[in-house]
Amino acid sequence: AQSVTQPDIHITVSEGASLELRCNYSYGATPYLFWYVQSPGQGLQLLLKYFSGDTLVQGIKGFEAEFKRSQSSFNLRKPSVHWSDAAEYFCAVGALGGYSTLTFGKGTMLLVSP
């Protein structure tokens, strides 16, 4: 069965500092990986996705993620965090093709300090 682990429940980063959110997945085939962001009381917004090709993926809002098959990881990064980045971040994994469902991690809450 597929699974996603986000080891950090909360992370606090100073504004302007760099950010890395960790995501480890378990999946038996080639995974299809996502990062979503959720502001309080809102739905999820897609930041970026990976299914093949270049292992460094660029997304919206200055985010990027790197797929490392050997480590089963898909960590999210941003070089300089803005206060508006404070939100909850979810990593998800699914299968390629068809109408496959997604398995989500439990999320990492990002707090940005002044």
**How far is the first Cα of the chain from the last one, in angstroms, to the nearest whole number?**
41
Part in contact with another protein (CB under 8 A); list of ranges 13-21, 28-36, 64-72, 76-84:
28-36
Q: Does 89 bind another protein (CB under 8 A)?
A: no
Least distance between another protein and beta carbon 85 (Å): 19
In the numeric block, the tokens 């760099």 are attached to 18
- The C-alpha atoms of residue 5 and residue 27 are separated, in whole angstroms, by 12
Say if residues 26 and 2 touch (Cβ distance below 8 Å): yes
Binding segment (CB under 8 A) for another protein, from list 14-22, 38-46, 54-62, 67-75: 38-46
- Long-range contacts of residues 56-61, Cβ cutoff 8 Å, at least 24 apart: 59/35, 61/37, 61/85
Query: Which of 12, 18, 42, 55 forms a contact with another protein (CB under 8 A)?
Result: 42
Q: Which residues bind another protein (CB under 8 A)?
A: 9, 32, 34, 36, 41-46, 49, 51-52, 90, 94, 96-102, 104-107
